[in-house]
Structure 1
Amino acid sequence: MTAPVPLHAPQLRIPATYMRGGTSKGVFFRLEDLPAAARVPGPARDALLQRVIGSPDPYGKQTDGMGGATSSTSKCVILSPSSRPDHDVDYLYGQVAIEENFVDWSGNCGNLSTAAGAFAIHAGYVDASRVDANGICSVRIWQANINKTILAHVPVAAGAVVESGDFELDGVTFPAAEIVLEFLDPSDEGEGEGGGALFPSGNLVDVLEVPGIGALPASMITAGIPTVFVNAADIGFTGTELQPAINTDKALLAKLESIRVAGALAMGLIKTPEEAATRQHTPKIAWVAPATDYLSSAGKAIAAGDIDLNVRAMSMGKLHHAMMGTASVAIATAAAIPGTLVNLAAGGGARDAVRFGHPSGTLRVGAQAQQVDGQWSVTRAVMSRSARILMEGWVRVPAGSF
């Protein structure tokens, strides 16, 4: 039994950096700056990150922590010098549940991958000789959650990351410097029965039997992050939904979760439906529809002629306000493969890039997919994001909280 903490015990100060990456925010740590007990995976690490973020919070506000009470802002990142040859940094991502008592380590955050590249330079993990010159520093990141390589092409000048610029990203209010991300061989290593296949079932389209819904066509893919795609029309949606229409409707949220659970079972990611409760980060559930006009959450008119299709995706049980970076990789990959639901919604045919509409606006993502001996694979996916430091110094947590 843990001894009670004296009321006068001082808070612990831990060096940390608060960063935006793409349309997400998170608290970044250097592994060597963490308390000894949290430098290794386990309950102490999870409890520390939860206390930093302010979870679990039955009020759902994370008022007593750094989290912003959304899946996009309830995140922590740990970086360290890479243990892998030819890589600069190891990047580990934790999705902290808001109200529930767990940290999900099952996948990556594509948006914060952008900030991971910039942070690697800020933290001194990249050889100074590669940063001194003005131009682009390519940071080779080992994504430790999914065992994949990411290249972050970060603008630098006079030995520092360039953060200001004119690159605009829908879902982010202010422009910043553009960082190009390359996800190399982004198909999942393969949990469960899929064994690493891009399509775990071997099919471009499956039929899911979803309790309370019935038979539902779905494309299930592991590129970027395991994702279950369904047609918007098949579940009574248009593909132009914004957050208020989904996130305030408990019946709709339960319906979408039941589809996600059915997909997770079919992909071999879980063995029982009950396991899905503590594995909410993966797989994602997304719905697709042919391009149509709509107004974004900021009131911006999105014209059907400017996009290939509309996509909406769930993150940690709620409709995402824009689009997750890893899900964007899945969208681009599925769009590049003729016959998937994503490809058909985009008009069919072969393509190596796609522009899709999401709640905050539009995003263009490229992917290179190929078929060899009847099996599809993806060699890389490319997208642009931005990142910047919001605050740096120390985060404080009460003594005895982990």
Structure 2
Amino acid sequence: MTTFAPQIKIPATYMRGGTSKGVFFRLQDLPEPAQVPGQARDNLLLRVIGSPDPYGKQTDGMGGATSSTSKTVILSKSEQPDHDVDYLFGQVSIDKPFVDWSGNCGNLTAAAGAFAINSGFVDAERIPQNGICTVRIWQANIQKTIIAHVPITNGEVQETGDFELDGVTFPAAEVQIEFMDPAGEGAIFPTGNLVDDLEVPADVVEGGTLKATMINAGIPTIFVNADQIGYEGTELQEAINGDDKALAMFETIRAHGAVKMGLIEKVEDAANRQHTPKVAFVAPPKGYMASSGKEIAAGDIDLLVRALSMGKLHHAMMGTAAVAIGTAAAIPGTLANLAAGGGERNAVTFGHPSGTLRVGAEAEISNGQWTATKAIMSRNARILMEGWVRVPSDSF
């Protein structure tokens, strides 16, 4: 008779943060082999989420079969001075045996602050009985500081509230997030230019050259103009995600941009770096109907932005890409800035498929180079379920 390994259970919390949701773990709760980076950790997280799934559904796991819902987070008491928690994010591929550790999830940052408080990572004397708890997060993927301002009522995280976020059905308590010094390692513009002529195959765009702003803020992002690739910037998911030719075009743009940004050596390497960079297209304001049926007027927004994540058009906007949008819009001459009308600005409201989002950013020239000092946005978050996840004990 064949014997099979039993399932084990691991303490976990299922949380929504912004327009994403993921499975949150405390580092010390993971099985010992998964407490360090490596294949055992990746295999465990893949099994938790239900990947790789050739059916693309993640039915046998906690994933929701979209880039927004195929996420994992590991938090631990911070090893950095003047920080409360170390926040490590793993983007789990849906159809491949692959966890991408190359970037942050800005949306889940809102949940990371609350999870840190609930998990005892924030010293008790820093948590007010009523008011705002400032959680100092070290984002371990990108080695950056993020400050989450988490509301507290009667000594506990306040999750319910009236802050509405387009792309999320129900309101919750507002959590303001500050992304400090959001540019990644090296220059904010890796090519040294605000706008580049990005060479791509001629079947992508006539002439084989695409205007692109490639910025490293929040997350490496490639901005192109909607009209140059045949779009208006008002598109919803179905207009692109059901079009295999369009998705292949965006992946080609992403791969060539990644090489130009110095993130990969050759175009073929992009397949093993799915989470970064992001690719987005921008356009001047124009009215449209959001996916919820809500009318967005041109006067409500400064620009239109549509962004792809893990090969598909995102249903709203990734938090990290919002940081890139705000930072790029604050720097005169970038494609995002020009789509918003040009000039200097320290905040923009942009239209995305689910509605609108406002993001503030501060950028300045230092020693002849642009630098970003911080980006600010509001999100909300709440616990959906807590307890344990179960996986077969031989799956990692």
Give yes or no for TM over 0.5: yes
Q: For the residues of structure 2 that align with 1:125 and 1:87, how far apart are their CA atoms? A: 10
**Deviation digits for residues 243-287 of structure 1 (CA, Å, limit 9, x no counterpart):** 011001100000010000010000000001111001010000000
Tell me how far 1:326 sits from its aligned partner.
Answer: 0.3
Change (3 A) 1:5 1:315: farther
Query: Structure 2-normalised TM-score?
Result: 0.98
Q: 1:206 aligns with which of 165, 175, 196?
A: 196
Q: 1:255 aligns with which of 240, 243, 249?
A: 249
1:112 aligns with 2:108: yes
2:357 alignment counterpart: 363
**Deviation digits for residues 218-243 of structure 1 (CA, Å, limit 9, x no counterpart):** 00000000000000000000001110
1:298 aligns with 2:295: no
**Deviation digits for residues 150-173 of structure 1 (CA, Å, limit 9, x no counterpart):** 000000122210000000000000
1:13 aligns with 2:14: no
Instruction: Report the secondary structure of 1:222's partner residue.
Output: strand
1:284 aligns with 2:278: yes
The 5-angstrom pairing of residues 35-46 of structure 1 reads 35-46=31-42
1:99 aligns with 2:95: yes
2:209 alignment counterpart: 215
Q: 1:62 aligns with which of 58, 61, 68?
A: 58
Structure 1, 370-379 or 288-297: larger mean CA deviation: 370-379
1:321 alignment counterpart: 315
The 5-angstrom pairing of residues 1-400 of structure 1 reads 6-7=3-4, 9-189=5-185, 196-211=186-201, 212-213=203-204, 214-400=208-394
Q: For the residues of structure 2 that align with 1:329 and 1:5, how far apart are their CA atoms? A: 53
Query: What code does the residue aligned with 2:267 have?
Result: P
Q: For the residues of structure 1 that align with 2:365 and 2:282, how far apart are their CA atoms? A: 23
Instruction: Report the secondary structure of 2:217's partner residue.
Output: coil
Kindly indicate whether the alpha-carbon contact (under 8 Å) linking 1:329 and 1:381 is maintained by their aligned counterparts in 2. yes
Long gaps (5+) in structure 2: none
Query: What code does the residue aligned with 1:381 have?
Result: A
Instruction: Report the secondary structure of 2:388's partner residue.
Output: strand
Long gaps (5+) in structure 1: 190-195
**Deviation digits for residues 327-370 of structure 1 (CA, Å, limit 9, x no counterpart):** 00000000000000000000000000000000000000000000
Identity %: 73
Q: For the residues of structure 2 that align with 1:341 and 1:127, how far apart are their CA atoms? A: 43
Instruction: Report the secondary structure of 1:386's partner residue.
Output: strand
Q: For the residues of structure 1 that align with 2:9 and 2:367, how far apart are their CA atoms? A: 55
Structure 1, 79-88 or 271-280: larger mean CA deviation: 271-280
Q: For the residues of structure 2 that align with 1:6 and 1:292, how far apart are their CA atoms? A: 62
> What count of residue pairs does the alignment treat as equivalent?
392
Query: What code does the residue aligned with 2:277 have?
Result: P
1:192 alignment counterpart: none
Q: For the residues of structure 2 that align with 1:395 and 1:295, how far apart are their CA atoms? A: 39
- The two structures, once aligned, show a CA RMSD in angstroms of 1.0
Q: For the residues of structure 2 that align with 1:228 and 1:6, how far apart are their CA atoms? A: 51
Kindly indicate whether the alpha-carbon contact (under 8 Å) linking 1:131 and 1:158 is maintained by their aligned counterparts in 2. no
Query: What code does the residue aligned with 1:324 have?
Result: M
Instruction: Report the secondary structure of 2:264's partner residue.
Output: coil
**Deviation digits for residues 132-165 of structure 1 (CA, Å, limit 9, x no counterpart):** 4200000000000000000000001222100000
Tell me how far 1:5 sits from its aligned partner.
Answer: 8.2
Q: For the residues of structure 1 that align with 2:128 and 2:141, how far apart are their CA atoms? A: 31
Query: What code does the residue aligned with 1:252 have?
Result: A
Tell me how far 1:6 sits from its aligned partner.
Answer: 2.3
Tell me how far 1:373 sits from its aligned partner.
Answer: 2.7
**Deviation digits for residues 94-115 of structure 1 (CA, Å, limit 9, x no counterpart):** 0000001100000000000110
Q: For the residues of structure 2 that align with 1:348 and 1:387, how far apart are their CA atoms? A: 33
1:193 alignment counterpart: none
Runs of 4+ in 1 over 4 A off after TM superposition: none
